[in-house]
Structure 1
Amino acid sequence: MTKNSAKDDKQQKQQSGNEGITQKPGTSITEWVLAGISCLALLTALGYLIVDGLSGRNGTAQLIVLPVEVTATNGGYVVEFAAENHAGKSVAAVEIRGELRNGDEVVEESSATLDYIPQQSERKGALIFRRDPKAHELRLFASGYSEP
């Protein structure tokens, strides 16, 4: 064996060894799959935001206040209520008022403030009266709110 043939064998071995290490240029299947999943997630998020933005969920809050329970205490009567927000708009600092009426005359008033009522949800609270609400006409209503 000559020096040249030994050198040629060595170069061939290096070239054949390098062939296993080098990769073809391009994108692997794993990269394509991850790119597809990412694209699908992005399109889903964009679609949700577009539908949510066009759904017309702005406007006036629709607050309904309903009595839940009346309990007698040492200092008077506690009227528990549920305030429901049926609109697509959240509201804050919701002022809830209650009136005990005898015909057209307001016998007693009470109020409470709810910090926050998210859209399509309900929050509970209570009003305290000195007179028995069962002996009068009880009216509960939201009298004001602010935008969060």
Structure 2
Amino acid sequence: MTKNPAKSDRQQKQQSDDKGKACKPGTSLTEWVVAGISAIALLAVLGYLVVDGLSARDGTARIVVMPLAVAANEGGFVVEFAAANRAGKSVAAVEVKGELRNGDEVVEESSATLDYVPQNSQRKGALIFTHDPEAYDLRLFASGYSEP
């Protein structure tokens, strides 16, 4: 009986291929965990961006101006204020005005401009008066803004 050398070579090659396949590792548990966490993070970011993109940003800004402190200095009286934008729309060039009133009479006016007030945030500023604001009725309000 003679051996067929071609058949023997094929068997050896098949056995070596089978050994190579057995040695290749599969996807480890760590890789699956990392892939799962990454997929969840990606879906969360995409979901946030979609919701944020579809949320209503139309309408008007709601600027609320509140006095923080009054301090006397050489040039008069400084009234520090906070202007809060309580809407989902950012605004620029916010004009804040202050009036000192004695009944219906406006005794003194002052104004300041805030460069930018982002949505749902606040910015601080100050108005300067020559009369003492504590001796009069102080009114602070936003009188205008532009869209950035």
TM-score relative to the length of structure 2: 0.78
Whether 2:140 is the aligned partner of 1:147: answer: no
Q: Secondary structure at the match of 1:67?
A: strand
Counting only pairs closer than 5 Å after superposition, residues 74-85 of structure 1 correspond to structure 2 as: 74-85=74-85
Alpha carbons of structure 1 residues 29 and 54: separation in structure 2 relative to 1, 3 Å: same
Q: Secondary structure at the match of 2:116?
A: strand
Deviation at 1:46, TM superposition (A): 3.9
Counting only pairs closer than 5 Å after superposition, residues 60-79 of structure 1 correspond to structure 2 as: 60-79=60-79
Deviation at 1:45, TM superposition (A): 3.5
Alpha carbons of structure 1 residues 69 and 22: separation in structure 2 relative to 1, 3 Å: same
RMSD: 3.1
Cα distance in structure 1, aligned partners of 2:71 and 2:85: 25
Counting only pairs closer than 5 Å after superposition, residues 1-148 of structure 1 correspond to structure 2 as: 4-5=4-5, 8=8, 10-22=9-21, 40-148=40-148
Q: Secondary structure at the match of 2:131?
A: coil
Cα distance in structure 2, aligned partners of 1:32 and 1:41: 14
Unaligned runs of 5+ in 2: none
Cα distance in structure 2, aligned partners of 1:55 and 1:7: 71
Deviation at 1:50, TM superposition (A): 3.8
Deviation at 1:36, TM superposition (A): 5.4
How far does the alpha carbon of each residue in 1:61-100 deviate from its partner, in whole angstroms, 9 at most, with x for none? 1111010000000111000001111111111111111111
Cα distance in structure 1, aligned partners of 2:10 and 2:53: 66
What's the % identity of the aligned pairs? 66
Deviation at 1:12, TM superposition (A): 3.0
Report how many aligned residue pairs link the two structures: 143
Cα distance in structure 2, aligned partners of 1:53 and 1:11: 62
Cα distance in structure 1, aligned partners of 2:117 and 2:6: 85
How far does the alpha carbon of each residue in 1:32-67 deviate from its partner, in whole angstroms, 9 at most, with x for none? 767655654454334333433444342111111010
Q: Secondary structure at the match of 2:16?
A: helix
